[in-house]
Structure 1
Amino acid sequence: MHRRPAASASSSKVAASRERRARRGDKLNSGGGGGGIRNINGHLPLHTKQQPEKKGTGVGKWLLLGLVLLSVILINHFTTNSASSSDGGRWNLKKVSKNALKRMRNGKSIHHSHDSIAADADAAHSSPYTAEALSKNPYLGWQPPLVPTPAGSTFSWRDCFKADAKSDGTGQPAGCNENPSELGIAPAVDKDWVPDVTMIRQMMMYGKDRNGNPFPPPLSKELCEDIGVQGGKGGDSNKECLRQSMIRPTGPLNSTTVTIDPSNNYGVDPSTSKGTITVPAPRLMCSVYTMADAHANRIRAMRETWAGGCDGYLAFSTESDPRLPAISLEHEGPESYDNMWQKVRSIWRFVGTHYLEDYDWFFIGGDDLFVLPHNLKTYLASLVHKDGTDPKTNEYFVGRRFNSGIRDYFNSGGAGYTLSQATLRKFLSAMDDAEHCSAGARTSMEDVMIARCLTNLGIHFTDTRDALGRERFHPFAPGSHLYWKPPGEGEARDWYEEYNKEWGILQGKDCCAPDSVSFHYIKKASMVRHMQALLYSCDQ
């Protein structure tokens, strides 16, 4: 297993208590700025120089014959290279260096050539569960056993929705796939363990676990029906929002390319559009913060639905579990919702220490998020392509911007936000600055704190709306956005309206962009699977 160096910042032991996070009125952020995708410069074609005609004696003839043979060799060489590097070509894995194979298997290659895309496609058809890979990560390809429902059972997926949103899954019927007994006891890890964050992506790309079972596990057709929050047959406002707003994935979760329209960004002149183009997908790492009592339900549901769409995925929790993977980090102060800023600081320090160079973008959010990773990759690619920039060297702070007051623009922690590699690098260099980055603050408003820090570092917010002004990052569940109305005359002020006053809120079906990225308050594992089915399998 990988090992990690001791943390550089002082930290206290994580408190034994596992205090549940209280509900909060999400404080969100705002911004402005542009974007672009990294430029990909293909190699210029190689050409042999035309040789001048030779005249003369036998020496000249022998020279001419040699040149002919050399030309044949060169033509064959370049033709082969050209064929292997074309859009439809694939790498010959027998000729790939061991280092290249290692990078491909663990998801660390960040060179986005068409050859690397072909290699990813080949990797999807060859088992990643080699003896060498399993010796490095014994939990690669593991998934919890699917417990069958008892014979004669009248089990319905609707039964899974009846549990309280705060439940840890205990008592949930077999078939819901969220009872802690199905997960069992987490294996122990070394103190300096560094998780393999590519393991879920590798399973997604291969389509099977190491025992040959489908991964992700197939979802029941029953999850395509109208299902209310408590499992009823009516009032499925989330499904209605997906239908009315025409929210769809921009591509399969295992896709290595994205099709973008750089003009689909707010404020861009549509007359400048050159249509859609397909480009290699940027590399994305997704981090979520959680608690150990959510491992068997929310985290498992993420793992079995959208997490594999991220090139790297890691849960930061109060207990480590290498099977998920989840890791517990020490941080300043207690394990408390009121100390979220210190927890998030430790998360970013760990991510930056171990994974900074492996990914272009870094997304973070809570365990009650539903994310469409391919939509996020598509948006990020469109953003940087518009600006002609590179996330490794250009600073972006991407999410759902809010303005809570005089100077408090911030990106909603509830909806999740994304840092470019360059932004994370700059934040790491300044995160211990007490004056500009509130290094010692103890507060639940981690989203406000990081926004203030990045603002002090000169990093601006990005307007993430589409060309028609529809939002992509959402602080509520889909149905809540579809039916949201501003307070009437004489009614109490609504913080959500206040935080969006500067740019306004579109209502009804225009609440949400068709290529929406994230939704908050998806608290039940059953609802995660319901939304996954609605978006990815019900129409197939």
Structure 2
Amino acid sequence: MATGISTVRHGLIGLVLFVSGFLLALIMISTSSVHGTDFIGSSPIKQYTQQRFLNKSEPVSSRQYKVQYNRLTNESTIMDHKILHNLTKIADDSDDKFLNVRVLCWVMTSPFTLLSKARHVKNTWGWRCDKTLYMSSVENSSFPSIGLNVTEGRDALWAKTKEAFKYIYKHHFDEADWFLKADDDTFLIVENLKYMLASQNSSDPIYFGHNFKTFVRQGYMSGGAGYVLSKEALDRFVNKALPNGDKCSASGSGAEDVELGKCLQNVGVVAGDSRDSLNRTRFLPFGLEYFLGSMPKNFWYWSYQKYPLKVGRECCSDYIITFHYVNPKEMYLLEFYIYKIRPASYHQNHYYLINGTKVKI
């Protein structure tokens, strides 16, 4: 009798273990289809991962994605958020329509800084714009960068700016509604840019950035902080300003941001106010530490600044758009601070942008 009971008991234990193992296997299969090949293969970012990183037609696992991305960028410290197995597609909710604003970003770089600076832009914020172009004087098809017919050097920045906007107008005008220029040591928070632009009309002749008041009657935008032109502003710049020597300097030399400001003013493009509703700045021509209190009182900035600025915690908007003079190490630190760290009490939907496609963390 005891032997029979023991046999039944062992049989039940074996059955429980079998069922448990079977359920565990189902869970693992289900999980892998969400985090691995099936998810990425059927998601809206499938084309992005295949074309930009792998150039293959089959679905891509998250491990393949990370390995291939690191191999192509030669960057072993890519942030974990670029592994797509933690991303989930979301629908267009009414409160995040601003992410649908189409922005083309172009980065001012050179053959000498393409790998030392622009590479880190590409690895951090560059891939969040709807399209990003890297403008140099030499083409690099593997990066890729565009080779404009200009010389290099600080005195040639105005020539490069004109050629870059002409190139964009000719090849990419219909692909965006707003066109942003940044340096290869500028850090851009694309989502905050789109948030600001959502209340604007790209059919208006207007541009935004960090307003300086010198040299140009209506002021101009700091080049290092980045500036963004509406579709109408770009149209007027290329078709009305550049062909007319009375409205726009034909010389290739000169301060790029000042010369652009003069040209845009002469064709009726308004220098917009990019400050937030509390009059706090959003485009920063320097690092944040300057605005928190380390900027000397005799610094040249104070005589250029168009709008009053508070120094300290109320200097800057909660929705800062750019920082300038950001070194490669700081690029990755900003990327981590902005997109990875959240206080536990902070409850809100968070998204990543991948070439304009919204994905939820």
Structure 1 residue 428, shift from structure 2 partner: 0.9
Question: Aligned AA for 1:309?
Answer: R
Q: Which residue, 109, 124, 147 being the options, matches 2:44? A: 124
- 1:139-191: CA deviation from partner (whole Å, max 9, x where unpaired): x3169xxxxxxxxxxxxxxxxxxxxxxxxxxxxxxxxxxxxxxxxxxxxxxxx
What are the equivalent positions in structure 2 for 1:273-288 lying under 5 Å apart?
A: 278-279=97-98, 281-288=100-107
Structure 1 residue 342, shift from structure 2 partner: 0.8
Q: Which residue, 226, 238, 250 being the options, matches 1:439? A: 250
Q: Hey, what does 1:537 align to over in structure 2?
A: 340
- 1:232-280: CA deviation from partner (whole Å, max 9, x where unpaired): xxxxxxxxxxxxxxxxxxxx9x989697xxxxxxxxxxxxxxxx67455
**RMSD between aligned alpha carbons?**
3.1
Structure 1 residue 406, shift from structure 2 partner: 6.8
CA contact (8 A) 1:408 1:448 kept: no
Q: Distance in 1 between matches of 2:304 and 2:268?
A: 22
CA contact (8 A) 2:99 2:195 kept: no
Does residue 505 (structure 1) correspond to residue 309 (structure 2)? The answer is: yes
CA contact (8 A) 1:287 1:365 kept: yes
Q: Distance in 2 between matches of 1:366 and 1:426?
A: 23
Question: Aligned AA for 2:183?
Answer: G
Q: TM-score, normalised by structure 2?
A: 0.71
Evaluate the alpha carbon distance shift between residue 512 and residue 461 of structure 1 in structure 2; reply closer, same or farther with a 3 A threshold: same
Q: Which residue, 317, 322, 339 being the options, matches 1:518? A: 322
Q: Distance in 1 between matches of 2:249 and 2:93?
A: 38
Q: Distance in 1 between matches of 2:281 and 2:91?
A: 25
Does residue 325 (structure 1) correspond to residue 144 (structure 2)? The answer is: yes
Provide the secondary structure at the position in 2 that maps to 1:483.
helix
Evaluate the alpha carbon distance shift between residue 128 and residue 312 of structure 1 in structure 2; reply closer, same or farther with a 3 A threshold: closer
Structure 1 residue 408, shift from structure 2 partner: 6.4
- Higher-RCO chain (CA-CA 8 Å, sequence separation at least 6): 1
Q: Hey, what does 2:155 align to over in structure 1?
A: 338
Q: Hey, what does 1:32 align to over in structure 2?
A: none
Moved over 6 A (4+): 206-210
- 1:396-435: CA deviation from partner (whole Å, max 9, x where unpaired): 2111111115726110101000001111111110212111
CA contact (8 A) 1:129 1:210 kept: no
Q: Distance in 2 between matches of 1:257 and 1:323?
A: 34
Evaluate the alpha carbon distance shift between residue 539 and residue 406 of structure 1 in structure 2; reply closer, same or farther with a 3 A threshold: closer
Provide the secondary structure at the position in 1 that maps to 2:140.
coil
Q: Hey, what does 1:360 align to over in structure 2?
A: 177
Provide the secondary structure at the position in 2 that maps to 1:473.
coil
What are the equivalent positions in structure 2 for 1:225-374 lying under 5 Å apart?
A: 278-279=97-98, 281-331=100-150, 334-374=151-191
CA contact (8 A) 1:142 1:323 kept: no
Structure 1 residue 208, shift from structure 2 partner: 7.5
Question: Aligned AA for 1:432?
Answer: P
Q: TM-score, normalised by structure 1?
A: 0.49
Q: Distance in 2 between matches of 1:425 and 1:377?
A: 20
Q: Distance in 2 between matches of 1:349 and 1:476?
A: 28
CA contact (8 A) 1:471 1:513 kept: yes
Structure 1 residue 220, shift from structure 2 partner: 7.5
Q: Structure 2 regions of 5+ residues with no counterpart? A: 1-40, 71-76, 82-86, 344-361
CA contact (8 A) 1:257 1:279 kept: no
Q: How many percent identity over aligned positions?
A: 27
Q: Distance in 2 between matches of 1:303 and 1:441?
A: 27
- 1:176-212: CA deviation from partner (whole Å, max 9, x where unpaired): xxxxxxxxxxxxxxxxxxxxxxxxxxxxxx9979943
